[in-house]
């Protein structure tokens, strides 16, 4: 695990630089140059993550298991820098899904055996993990995968159903899947790709096109007892709330970086554009817009960093704070992409400009993690002390 | 409501040629009322001269047919007059319009033109003032909780007796007549509606009233009425199915809409005047894009509200309900006016929050239009229902916890103590 | 010219149906079925406009010159129905550019000869006209085409420069081009495609992809005196303010129709989507959103119809009202596309869904006609009685 | 300001573990002040018991080093205390915080800890109250137009004389001491700054004051001061380059920010209580998604403002300017609080606009925080300048007409009369 100019201990003390810088610079060099082309082609380039695996694949895996041993706050900064440097929302989502959504539940709820089997190879980038983004808001959407006991003589389970919108599926080694039981309980499973009865189809949304998307079809897919992550029937207390909060906070991190990149582009564009014969940036209303964009970046940063740091405190993070951070950053990302597009003029529509991709992907981002119709009741229920 | 493009024929629509611009002149000159608006706000009293000006203007008769003593004005004239009066003094506008528009429509719709001419006549002439009493102090606008009841006077004499307390009523402290939404005490076998409108003379022993001090529209009298076996004439209790009532109450939403449009237009006008006269750091405010942007947004928003309100007025005049359009315009225009008034305060800076300044008053007035009548959210429900979405479906919370989102997540290393949940 | 069930006179009296219905039904039948495919391919299908030419090509051309003789208000309704039925912002823009932006200035300022030469063939759809959308906000953007006298013995002119963002260019017969003189004055020209020195390149934005886009390059392009539209040097008083107001009002018309189509889709989608185990449409906040979407449609309709009808009154339309209508409809289109997307869930990202294309194209639409940085000073200057 | 991700090291940042949630307890108990807030608003007077509570709480000393008599609290404690007092009574908060935070920072920054201990001591103990006099009645905040001038007393005695009128000053009616931004009458050869801060004893014959009635923050004394050759001590005129002043005035923006956060939090708290207790049409308000949505948005927005304000406070404590961050948070938090208060009014319905109701008061208070100090737009200019966009460039209108957009277009058949233009 190579964090430039820093050991992870030093990084934790803030003495050796900032993870946002490491990833920003590396992603700017390695990922950004081909982002527009991969977006047009809807292409995943395995060489990119391979080159960056030391930095990005296992920040939250403990050093003893071969990981970077970064704190949650540092990992957040790392992903923020990734978004800013790569200017690639899809690639950043694929990385976050693997390094956080798929990996942290194994660290948090895995048996020693599961941790030892999955985490070192996840941290090296050898094995990538994938998760359906329709399963990161608890069971707010009706469960689409069912689990039943494998029957006499086995302590395993049989899974049936399908899961859409699986970020990373075409290139993943294993999948974190939540399945419902007939009695209404739900269990999390780690399903390896080579499991019989599991089919991975390439299918995905027309957004975040540089993320490899897929759909899982489970047809009598039998998994052993060891595939259960956490307590059988306990997903609603364990994996589901964790997965939701991780999505709300950590898939937002690259967007914070993207917002900074967009704001910087907007400043540059509005210096160059002429309107009424003078630079756009001379117009007071344009200056106000730019001031508002940069403010939104800092406001969103505060909420997201608080929510990320709560994972480091040994106590339980706050679902209210995580959901509030997501609610805010979605709106901030919308404002920033639209504000930036308004100041970029025709340049925004060349087919290669960040703001075009970001505008499309921000809309998709707004719907993930449950969207406002999930986030708002979660926040309100906590605030009102309901439930 | 149709979601496809408007396919009514041109003849039904607002004549585009007459659709007003901001500069469309109104034949109504309420400049005296405008000059007294600050004083009206400060004292919380509408000067008698305001009433004289309103009577003289013909305003009170505009909204009604000649048959019942109105002047049968066309919708454009009606709406121009409403906006002109609201712009001059929103508090005075509310008081006059509740009486002559809302209350007279209620009396004329559910009453009888002949029998109730004795009530309508003095309201249209301005000799008397009416109020509409709906809400009860403990309950808000949920009619299921209303307790005010009308019962036959029985051995005590002719007619009916009414008992109960109504609250948050425009004109309650000053009105001569109340149109009261009330329950009916029903004799066995009476299968008529559970509700009625009672036309109650407020000058009698069984009536007490009180004032409620309020943030804005301070000239508008506002308060409650306590009815203790007050007498109601035999002809003056009109059974009415409560579901039907919103059709007539929509006149009140239209009244709020023009109150909001008038407030917004007055706030924009003040902002334009200020921007034209003020120089800051050597730059005339009018030349600054930031100020121009605020003025332009206000202009577009006010015009949008006015044109939709006018369209709704034309629809009503053509005999259609337009309740959905009026609900939309009530929600939009009242919230819009709050925004426009807030922009005006910002453009004026500290003078805009100094007591007695026009925009300070408009800012307080604007919020009252949002709250008065049905609230925005209740009207949004109404619009949604008119879209064919069916009535609101109530589910008791908790729908979050069963999904796994009802408690805080574990940290990176799992739950603090194994087995702890929730 | 065939307007179903109606003569144009009857239509003017409102007795024979509504132009919005005619175009909505025809476009739904003819244009909509291939809209998603043409968008993906960025393809213009000449057969579509050929089939609809009787309805759409010449509504504002007087009957004596072979046109439909509709009023401006009726033409607005026609284009509104086109947007709603076709669900195709790009096709609708191409039609509006030809039928309104290119044609009305010829009607308004053309000589008898110009009117007789261009209008009958424009109305039949034989000759299509095209305009650069960078020239529909006066000279707020610096002029890119220069005009100089052709020299001794000629009363013609030589044009040099280039014009981007020409809607309809690849299929147009003639172009309305505003060119600047050395003294700062500007003149409008009608330049036929076959003119020597004129090159039409295919180039366009990555938005409104079903509109045929191009770029004009004028290299010593000599045009005769008869190519001047209106007074030489008089564009700032004649063609420019007209073109701006026509863009503000009439290219917005299809968006009003699109907003209605999107709102209808959102209602349908939110009946079907389940969240927390019940139809989305049961949630109060969703109902509120739908109520707001339908309100925006009606509010925008009022402003746009007023501005359109002002062209019919014989007096001069109001630039303030036209700009206010555009300012409002742009924001309304944004709210409606985003609101609809939020209620469509993953269905919004299949690559074929209207809301996806509309979301991308609404952003482009927001920047045309000058965008808020032009619209707001135009409105404010009128309001403040400046200038 | 950097537009790239924050690369300061972790040690410089707000300790995330201590970043407050809404539920972070404050050690400061201002519940007595909160109970008197309605009365304070109604009477427009801060009760003496409020001052006693503030003195007893240690609030007045929190913001300053022990060297000058403060208690040197950490930024988290300071901000929790500010929010707690603002939430209890925004008017009282303003009065106390202008004196102890803004005025003492000005005296300590431009004055001398020893010579001015006699001024600072009584302000930190709460025996005396200060105000900061900047704006002039005729001019707004454009310093180019300020006329107040300090000149040497000359033959008349020691020190200086100050003459001019300052307006729109928090605490003007009640303060003992004024920190006055003034021009200096410069002797030939004096190449010092044109401006100074004068510390003026307000209990002397050359001082007259007046009150200005205001919409919100009614407990806060507000008004003007007329100085007619008032005496200023020789040590109490401190020349200062006016460009530098915004660095210290940013403390005032931070004060507004926490005023807004306190108002918003109080409005949200009232809304939560109301939603938990109110049943409408058989549905508890708390169970309605529309209400939940409003509460959730408010929660997120208030937290965003608080966290940025806290970060700015930490930056200042670490000796950095953070002026750009404070400008951002002033703009956002004050406008946010207006929105949150308006939502609270909507959730409360008619009771929310009844005089004396907590949210009615908060709604009026909220707007004052936007207007007080530099306005939103002036601070947006500041943020833009700090982005490296250069200072505002003023162009005199008209830039529209030359582009062809300065007059109305022709109709379908050309201009009405041939040859007519404009």
Q: What is the pLDDT of residues D157-194, one digit of tens each?
A: 789 999 999 999 999 999 999 999 999 999 899 999 99
What is the total residue count of chain D? 422
**How confident is the model over B296-317, as a mean pLDDT?**
97
Residue D62 lies in a domain: yes
**Do D416 and C314 count as a contact with CB atoms less than 8 A apart?**
yes
| Count: domains in chain A | 3
- Write the residue in C17, C292, C384 that is nearest to B286 by C-beta: C384
Q: Please name the member of C274, C341, C349 whose beta carbon is closest to the beta carbon of A142.
A: C274
Kindly identify which residue of chain D lies nearest to residue B168, measuring between CA atoms: D350
Q: Which chain A residues are within 8 Å of B402, Cβ to Cβ?
A: 139, 236
Largest distance between two CA atoms of chain B = 82
CATH number of the domain that C291 lies in?
1.20.140.10
Separation between Cα atoms, residue A215 and residue A199, nearest integer Å = 8
- Our CA angle for C188, C194, C198, nearest 5°, is 60
Task: Please tell me whether residues D67 and D26 are part of one structural domain.
Answer: yes
pLDDT band at residue B373 using 50, 70 and 90 as cut-offs: confident
**Model confidence pTM above 0.90:** yes
Are residues C262 and C283 located together in one domain of the fold? yes
- For A30-72, how does the pLDDT look when each residue is reduced to its tens digit (9 = 90+)? 999 999 999 999 999 999 999 999 999 999 999 999 999 999 9
| pLDDT at residue D158, as a whole number | 84
Nearest to A364 among C207, C277, C349 (CB): C349
- Whether B175 and B258 share a structural domain: no
Where in the sequence is the domain holding D155, given as residue range(s)?
Answer: 131-240
Q: Do D395 and A278 touch (CB under 8 A)?
A: yes
Chain B: residues touching A (Cβ < 8 Å):
288-293, 397-416, 421-422
Contact criterion met (CB below 8 Å) for C166 and C132: yes
Beta-carbon pairs below 8 A across chains A and B: 109
In a domain, B174, yes or no: yes
Mean per-residue pLDDT, D83-98: 98
Binning pLDDT at 50, 70 and 90, where does residue B4 land? low
Average pLDDT over residues B63-83: 96
Contacts of B408 in chain A (CB under 8 A): 241, 245, 316-319
List the alpha helices (DSSP H) in A67-126: 72-86, 89-96, 103-109, 112-124
Q: Among B77, B106, B129, give the residue marking a domain's end.
A: B129
Q: Which of A108, A138, A139 is facing B410, going by the closest CB pair?
A: A108
In a domain, C4, yes or no: no
pLDDT along chain A (387 residues), means of 10: 42 59 96 96 96 96 96 97 98 98 98 98 98 96 96 93 97 98 96 97 93 98 97 96 98 98 94 92 94 98 97 85 98 96 80 90 95 96 90
Across the interface, of C14, C287, C321, the residue whose CB is closest to B9 is: C14
How many angstroms separate the CA atoms of C206 and C209, rounded? Answer: 6
**Given an 8 Å threshold on Cβ–Cβ distance, is D411 in contact with C140?**
no
D278 occurs within a structural domain: yes
The highest-confidence range among B11-25, C211-225, D10-24, by mean pLDDT, is C211-225
In a domain, D261, yes or no: yes
- Within 8 A of C285 by CB-CB distance, chain D residues are 289-290, 292-293
Q: What is the pLDDT of residue C89?
A: 98
CB contact under 8 A, A360 and C360: yes
- Is the pLDDT at D23 greater than 80, yes or no? no
CA angle centred on B391, ends B387 and B392, rounded to 5°: 110
Strand boundaries in B216-350, DSSP class E: 222-232, 237-239, 279-280, 283-284
Residue A1 lies in a domain: no
Cβ-Cβ contacts under 8 Å between A and C: the total is 94
- How far is C300 from C328, CA to CA, in rounded Å? 6
Rounded distance, CA C333 to CA C359, Å? 9
The answer on A110 and A16 residing in a single domain is yes
What is the distance in angstroms between the CA of the first residue and the CA of the last residue of chain C?
43
- In this complex, which chains have at least 3 CB pairs below 8 Å with chain B? A, C, D
Same domain assignment for residues A116 and A41: yes
Q: What is the CATH number of the domain that holds B39?
A: 1.10.540.10
Q: Mark whether B253 and B344 lie in a shared domain.
A: yes
Closest chain B residue to C271 measured between Cα atoms? B389
Do B118 and B137 belong together in one domain? Answer: no
Is A329 a domain residue?
Answer: yes
Q: Do both A325 and A222 map to the same domain?
A: no
d(CA C240, CA A211): 46
Could you report how far apart the first and last alpha carbons of chain D are, in Å? 46
Strands annotated E in B233-378: 237-239, 279-280, 283-284
Beta strand ranges found along chain C (DSSP E): 129-132, 145-149, 157-167, 174-180, 186-192, 198-202, 213-223, 228-229, 274-275, 278-279
Tell whether A285 is covered by a domain. yes
Q: Would you say residue B175 lies in a domain?
A: yes
CATH number at residue C149: 2.40.110.10
Distance CA B299, CA C379 (A): 8
C2 in any annotated domain: no
Q: What mean pLDDT do residues B67-78 have?
A: 96
> Which residues of chain D have a CB within 8 Å of the CB of C315?
411, 416
Token pair 């009771």: residue: D351
Residues C154 and C27 placed together within one structural domain of the fold: no
Burial (CB < 10 A; 0-12, 13-18, 19+), residue A155, is exposed
Give yes or no: residues B253 and B288 share one domain: yes
Q: Domain check: are D103 and D167 in the same one?
A: no
Query: In the predicted model, what is the mean pLDDT of residues C142-162?
Result: 95
CATH code at A19? 1.10.540.10
pLDDT tens readout for residues B246-260: 899 999 999 999 999
Report how far residue C332's alpha carbon sits from residue A283's, in angstroms, rounded to the nearest whole number: 24
Same domain, D137 and D217: yes
Indicate if C206 and C305 belong to the same structural domain.
no
All residues of chain C having their beta carbon less than 8 Å from the beta carbon of residue A349 are: 205-207, 364
Q: Are residues B194 and B287 in the same domain?
A: no
Q: Is D404 in contact with C237 (Cβ distance < 8 A)? A: yes
Domain membership flag for residue D184: yes
Of A175, A201, A233, at which residue does a domain stop?
Answer: A233
- Cα–Cα distance measured from residue C9 to residue C162, given in angstroms and rounded to the nearest whole number: 42
- Assess whether C188 and C107 both reside in one domain: no
**Looking at B78, B102, B129, which one is the last position of a domain?**
B129
Contact D384 A379 (CB under 8 A): no
Residues linked to residue A38 through DSSP beta bridges, in sequence order: none
Are residues A224 and A255 both part of a single domain? no
Return d(Cα D402, Cα D397) in angstroms, integer. 11
Q: Is residue A4 part of a domain?
A: no
Pick the last residue of a domain from A96, A128, A160.
Answer: A128
Choosing from C128, C154, C171, the residue where a domain stops is C128
B384 and B274 assigned to the same domain: yes
Q: How many domains does chain B have?
A: 3
pLDDT score, position D19: 58
d(CA D78, CA D26): 10
Contact check, Cβ <8 Å, B5/C257: yes
Give me the pLDDT at residue D373, please: 84
Region D50-79 average pLDDT = 96
Nearest chain C Cα distance for residue A345, angstroms: 7
What's the average model confidence in pLDDT over C115-122? 98
State whether C258 and C374 are in the same domain.
yes
Of C186, C241, C377, the CB nearest to D408: C241
Q: CA dihedral defined by B348, B349, B351, B357, rounded to 10 degrees?
A: 50
Closest CA of chain C from D285, distance in Å: 11
User: Within its chain, how far is the Cα of C232 from the centroid?
Assistant: 26
Q: Which long-range CB contacts under 8 A does B206-214 form with residues at least 24 apart?
A: B206/B161, B206/B162, B206/B230, B206/B231, B209/B172, B209/B173, B210/B172, B210/B173, B211/B172, B211/B173, B212/B167, B212/B168, B212/D354, B212/D355, B213/B44, B213/D354, B213/D355, B213/D356, B214/B368, B214/D353, B214/D354, B214/D355
State whether A305 and D384 contact (CB < 8 Å).
no
Give which of B224, B124, B237, B227 is closest to B174, Cα–Cα: B224
Residues D253 and D357 in one domain: yes
Q: CATH number for the domain including D272?
A: 1.20.140.10
Alpha-carbon distance values, A28 to A24, A35, B301 (Å): 6, 10, 43
Inter-chain CB proximity A311 and B412 less than 8 Å: yes
Residues C204 and C284 both lie in one domain: no
Closest partner residue to D5 among A260, A310, A327, by Cβ? A260
What percent of chain B shows pLDDT beyond 90?
79
Q: Longest Cα pair distance anywhere in chain C, in angstroms?
A: 82
The contact set of C with A (CB < 8 A) is 134, 140-142, 164-165, 205-207, 274-277, 280, 283, 285-286, 334, 338, 341-342, 345-346, 348-351, 356, 359-360, 363-364, 366-367, 371-374, 376-377
Q: Is residue A5 part of a domain?
A: no
In a domain, D355, yes or no: yes
Question: Which residues in chain A have Cβ-Cβ distances shorter than 8 Å to C282?
Answer: none
Question: Is D276 in Cβ contact with A384 (below 8 Å)?
Answer: yes
My answer on whether B32 and B118 are in the same domain is: yes
B129, B159, B184 — which closes off a domain? B129
| SS3 state at C158 | strand
Same domain, C300 and C361: yes
Q: Where are the alpha helices (DSSP H) in D133-214?
A: none
Q: What share of chain B is helix, strand, coil (3-state, %, to 5)?
A: 50, 15, 35
Query: D332 is written with which tokens?
Result: 């956002």
User: Under DSSP, is residue D210 helix (H, G, I), strand (E, B) or coil?
Assistant: strand
Within 8 A of B421 by CB-CB distance, chain A residues are 234, 237
B248 within 8 A of B109, measured Cβ to Cβ: yes
In a domain, A192, yes or no: yes
Give the domain range for residue A287. 240-383
What is the least distance, in Å, from the CA of A348 to any CA of chain C? 8
Residues D382 and D250 in one domain: yes
In a domain, B310, yes or no: yes
**DSSP-assigned letter for residue D39:** H
Beta bridge partners of B362: none
Whole-number Å distance between alpha carbons of A176 and C153:
82
The helix (H) or strand (E) run that includes residue C303 is: helix C284-309
Contact B407 A237 (CB under 8 A): yes
Distance CA D157, CA A174 (A): 89
Least Cα distance to D382 among D310, D314, D331, D307 occurs for D331
- The pLDDT value given to residue B15: 52
Our CA-based measurement puts residue C381 at a distance from the nearest CA of chain A, in whole angstroms, of 14
On whether both C249 and C363 belong to a single domain, the answer is yes
Q: Which of D233, D285, D269 lies closest to D111, judged by CA?
A: D233
């Amino acid at each position: 695990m190579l964090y430039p100019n820093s050991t992870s201990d030093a990084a934790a003390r803030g003495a050796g630089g900032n993870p946002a810088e490491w990833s920003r610079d590396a992603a700017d060099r390695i990922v950004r140059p081909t982002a527009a082309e991969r977006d047009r082609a809807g292409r995943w380039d395995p060489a990119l993550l391979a080159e960056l695996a030391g930095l990005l694949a296992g920040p939250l895996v403990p050093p003893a298991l071969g990981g970077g041993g970064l704190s949650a706050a540092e990992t957040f900064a790392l992903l923020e820098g990734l978004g800013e440097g790569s200017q690639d929302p899809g690639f950043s989502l694929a990385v976050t899904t693997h390094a956080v959504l798929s990996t942290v539940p194994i660290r948090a709820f895995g048996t020693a055996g599961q941790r030892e089997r999955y985490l070192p190879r996840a941290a090296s980038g050898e094995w990538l993990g994938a998760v359906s983004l329709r399963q990161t808001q608890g069971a707010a959407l009706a469960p689409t995968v069912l689990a039943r006991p494998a029957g006499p003589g086995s302590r395993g389970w049989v899974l049936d159903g399908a899961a859409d919108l699986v970020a990373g599926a075409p290139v993943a080694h294993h999948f974190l899947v939540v399945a419902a039981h007939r009695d209404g309980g739900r269990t999390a499973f780690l399903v390896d790709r080579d499991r019989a009865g599991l089919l991975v189809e390439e299918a995905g949304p027309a957004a975040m096109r540089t993320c490899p998307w897929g759909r899982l079809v489970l047809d009598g897919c039998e998994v052993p007892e060891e595939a259960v992550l956490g307590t059988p029937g306990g997903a609603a207390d364990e994996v589901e709330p964790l997965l939701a909060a991780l999505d709300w906070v950590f898939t937002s991190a690259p967007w914070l970086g993207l917002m900074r990149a967009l704001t910087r582009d907007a400043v540059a564009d509005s210096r160059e554009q002429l309107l009424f014969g003078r630079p756009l940036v001379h117009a007071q209303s344009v200056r106000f817009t730019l001031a508002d964009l940069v403010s939104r970046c800092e406001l969103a940063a505060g909420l997201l960093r608080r929510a990320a740091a709560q994972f480091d405190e040994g106590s339980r993070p706050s679902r209210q704070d995580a959901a509030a951070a997501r609610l805010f950053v979605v709106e901030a990302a919308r404002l920033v992409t639209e504000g930036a597009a308004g100041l970029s003029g025709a340049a925004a529509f060349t087919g290669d400009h960040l703001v075009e991709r970001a505008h499309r992907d921000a809309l998709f981002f707004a719907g993930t993690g449950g969207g406002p119709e999930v986030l708002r009741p979660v926040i309100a229920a906590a605030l009102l002390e309901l439930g | 409501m149709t979601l496809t493009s408007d396919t009514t024929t041109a003849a039904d629509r607002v004549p585009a040629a007459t659709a007003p611009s901001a500069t469309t002149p109104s034949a109504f000159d309420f400049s005296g009322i405008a000059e007294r608006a600050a004083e009206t706000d400060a004292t919380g009293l509408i000067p008698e001269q305001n009433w004289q000006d309103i009577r003289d203007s013909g305003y009170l008769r505009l909204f009604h047919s000649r048959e019942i003593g109105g002047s049968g004005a066309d919708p454009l004239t009606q709406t121009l007059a409403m906006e002109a009066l609201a712009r001059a003094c929103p508090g005075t506008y509310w008081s006059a319009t509740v009486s002559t528009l809302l209350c007279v429509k209620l009396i004329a719709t559910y009453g009888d033109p002949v029998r109730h001419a004795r009530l309508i006549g003095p309201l249209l002439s301005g000799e008397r003032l009416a109020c509409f009493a709906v809400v009860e102090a403990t309950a808000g606008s949920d009619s299921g909780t209303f307790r005010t009841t009308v019962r036959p006077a029985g051995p005590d004499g002719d007619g009916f007796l009414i008992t109960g307390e109504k609250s948050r009523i425009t004109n309650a402290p000053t009105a001569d007549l109340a149109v009261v939404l009330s329950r009916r005490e029903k004799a066995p076998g009476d299968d008529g509606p559970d509700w009625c409108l009672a036309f109650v003379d407020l000058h009698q022993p069984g009536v007490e009233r009180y004032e409620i001090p309020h943030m804005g529209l301070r000239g508008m009298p506002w308060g409650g009425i306590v009815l203790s076996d007050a007498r109601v004439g035999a002809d003056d209790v009109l059974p009415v199915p409560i579901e039907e009532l919103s059709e007539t109450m929509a006149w009140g939403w239209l009244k709020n809409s023009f109150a909001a449009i008038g407030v917004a237009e007055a706030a924009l006008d003040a902002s334009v005047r200020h921007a034209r006269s003020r120089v800051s750091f050597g730059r005339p405010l009018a030349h600054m894009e930031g100020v121009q942007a605020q003025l332009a947004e206000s202009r577009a928003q006010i015009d949008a509200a006015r044109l939709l309100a006018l369209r709704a007025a034309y629809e009503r005049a053509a005999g259609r309900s337009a309740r959905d359009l009026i609900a939309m315009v009530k929600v939009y225009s009242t919230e819009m006016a709050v925004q426009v008034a807030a922009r005006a305060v910002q453009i004026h800076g500290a003078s805009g929050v100094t007591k007695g300044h026009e925009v300070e008053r408009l800012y307080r007035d604007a919020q009252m239009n949002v709250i008065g009548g049905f609230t925005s959210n209740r009207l949004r429900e109404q619009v949604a229902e008119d879209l064919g979405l069916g009535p609101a479906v109530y589910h008791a919370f908790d729908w979050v916890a069963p999904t796994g989102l009802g408690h805080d997540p574990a940290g990176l290393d799992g739950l603090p103590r194994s087995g702890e949940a929730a």
